[in-house]
Amino acid sequence: MSAQILQGVRVLDLTNVLAGPFATLHLALMGAEVIKIERPGSGDLARQLGTLVEFNQQGMGTSFLAQNANKKSVTLNTKSPEGKEIFKKLAADADVLVENFRPGVMDRLGLGYDVLKEINPKLVYCAISGFGQTGPDAKKPAYDQIIQGLSGEMAVNGDERLNPLRAGFPVCDTVGGLNAAFAIMAALYHCERTGEGQFIDIAMLDSIMPLMGWVAANLLMAGREPVPMGNDNFTAAPSGVFRTADGYINIAANKQEQWESVCDILGVPELKTDERFEKRDTRKHNRKQLTPLLEAKLTQRGTKEWVELLNAHGVPSGAILSLAEALAQPQVKHRETLKDVEVEGIGSIPLFNLTAKFSATPGDITAPPPRLSAHTEEVLAGIGMTADEVAELKANNVI
């Protein structure tokens, strides 16, 4: 197998649940050695989260399994004097540290960035939190649901019948994790060129807002408040969800020539010169009049037939799949988005692989999510601790 792009990079991962583990998962999939520092006895809360009770009881909940492939698990009580010293030794040899505690927690432990950078000036220290390390809301607790509401994301979803509307997955957590991974990669590049580590402050609130760029730009630059439009795309018409004979179809005729092709394919060429629909902006304004005219034709055939016909003529279209159908579709299988991974005591499970395809340094799942403390002895031996010393630490509940 080719060398991976982060091979030789050591990451101390103190994160829990989702945003932080999602960031370090991407580093692990690119070949970094990610050492997950967990609380003795319980570990990451995600170990108890998931729909399969028997997995939760093993400390291997589905939420944990989804985010922690390729990582090593070390249990360490960082509140104990011995635990602090061990942690400092680990930090001295690390390239990256990632944590998602509330601001100030690591400082109170005596393990904040100001302490660790004296031990390791090259350390890239990334702190992920709901609101960031500074500002009037910095100390407030935050979950994805809270950030979805405070970011305006929920306000732009839904329609006149259902608004505000939460996204169906923890989008703020996951984009916060991606933002952190992106920033860590940039900081590692800077460190390679200069030998200088640094502190990275990632806020979930900051991370999600730029994703609403076009919607926010209309408000910030044009003073135009977003109007919840459900499944319609505010930038064009016809662009959204339409009924067919056996379900629904997504059509995105965002260009004028695509609109004209839709008219020809559906057998309504007269709409091309109808003053209500002839030009892009008037079509958008009159979309509620346009949709039933199109659906009168679309409901005469099934979704699959329309998708093939529209795509063949350069009009982007697609079926609206269930999650199960989406995960099983041939394109997803071809791209190897999922990989079957054998987990001891559980069996073979499908996990998401690295979706960035590197030609020279491909990422991959090379190890299953770890059992709690599975690598404690290995990692401590790596910093020179003997078996007797490890046994004493275990007896004293340090590990």
Q: Which residues contact 380 (CB under 8 A, 6 or more apart)?
A: 74, 86, 389, 390, 393, 399
Choosing from 262, 294, 321, the residue where a domain stops is 321
What's the whole-number average pLDDT of the chain? 96
Q: Is residue 227 part of a domain?
A: no
262 and 313 share one domain: yes
Last-in-domain residue among 321, 351, 385: 321
- Long-range contacts of range 141-150, CB-CB < 8 Å, 24 or more positions apart? 141/102, 142/204, 142/205, 144/18, 144/170, 144/171, 144/172, 144/173, 144/204, 147/172, 147/204, 147/205, 147/208, 148/172, 148/208, 150/205
Q: Which pLDDT belongs to residue 286?
A: 96
Rounded mean pLDDT, 225-233: 91
Mean pLDDT of 362-370: 97
Alpha-carbon gap, residue 251 to 240, rounded angstroms: 6
Q: CATH code at 275? A: 3.30.1540.10
Question: Which CATH number belongs to the domain containing residue 72 in this structure?
Answer: 3.40.50.10540
Q: Which domain holds residue 290?
A: 239-321
Instruction: Judge if 192 and 254 occupy the same domain.
Output: no
In the three-class reduction of DSSP (H, G, I as helix; E, B as strand; rest coil), residue 16 is classed as coil
Q: Work out the percent of the chain whose per-residue pLDDT is above 90.
A: 97
Q: Is the pLDDT of residue 99 over 80?
A: yes
351 and 289 assigned to the same domain: no
User: Could you tell me if residue 326 is inside a domain?
Assistant: no
> How far is the C-alpha of 31 from the C-alpha of 23, rounded, in Å?
13
The confidence score (pLDDT) of residue 169 equals 95
Give the Cα separation of 61 and 49 in Å (integer): 5
| Span 200-218, average pLDDT | 96
Q: How many domains does the chain have?
A: 2
What pLDDT score does 2 carry? 67
Q: Establish if 2 belongs to a structural domain.
A: no
The pTM for the full model equals 0.94
In this prediction, residues 320-332 reach a mean pLDDT of: 97
Q: Provide mean pLDDT across the span 258-285.
A: 96
Condensed to tens digits (0 to 9), the pLDDT of residues 309-322 reads 999 999 999 999 99
The predicted pLDDT at position 1 comes to 53
The answer on pLDDT for 273 being more than 90 is yes
Query: What does the longest C-alpha to C-alpha distance in the chain come to?
Result: 86
- Claim to verify: residue 343 and residue 284 sit in the same structural domain: no
State whether 316 and 347 are in the same domain: no
Q: Can you read off the two tokens belonging to residue 271? A: 């709409």
At residue 100 the predicted structure's pLDDT band, cuts being 50, 70 and 90, is very high
**159: its two tokens:** 């329609």
Same domain, 140 and 286: no
For residue 90, which of 37, 128, 40, 22 has the smallest C-alpha distance? 37
Looking at residue 53, its pLDDT comes to 95
Q: Is residue 4 included in any domain, yes or no?
A: no
Asked if residue 232 is part of any domain, the answer here is no
Last residue within a domain, chosen from 298, 321, 344: 321
29 with 93, same domain: the answer is yes
Question: Could you tell me if residue 389 is inside a domain?
Answer: yes
**Do residues 313 and 340 both lie within one domain?**
no
Domain contains 126: yes
Indicate whether 187 and 305 sit together in one domain: no
User: pLDDT, tens digit, for every residue of 24-78?
Assistant: 999 999 999 999 999 999 999 999 999 999 999 999 999 999 999 999 999 999 9
pLDDT of residue 299 exceeding 60: yes
Sign of the C-alpha dihedral, residues 81, 72, 185, 104?
negative
Q: Are residues 108 and 32 in the same domain?
A: yes
Q: Tell me whether residue 371 is in a domain.
A: yes
- Residues 306 and 337 placed together within one structural domain of the fold: no
Residue 3: its pLDDT value, please? 82
3-state secondary structure 324-393: HHHHHCHHHHHCCCEEEEEECCCEEEEEECCCCCCCCCCCCCCCCCCCCCCCHHHHHHHCCCCHHHHHHH
Q: Is the pLDDT of residue 303 over 60?
A: yes
DSSP state, 4? P
Catalytic machinery residues: 173
Residue 141, pLDDT score: 92
**99 and 137, same domain (yes or no):** yes
pLDDT at 232 over 60: yes
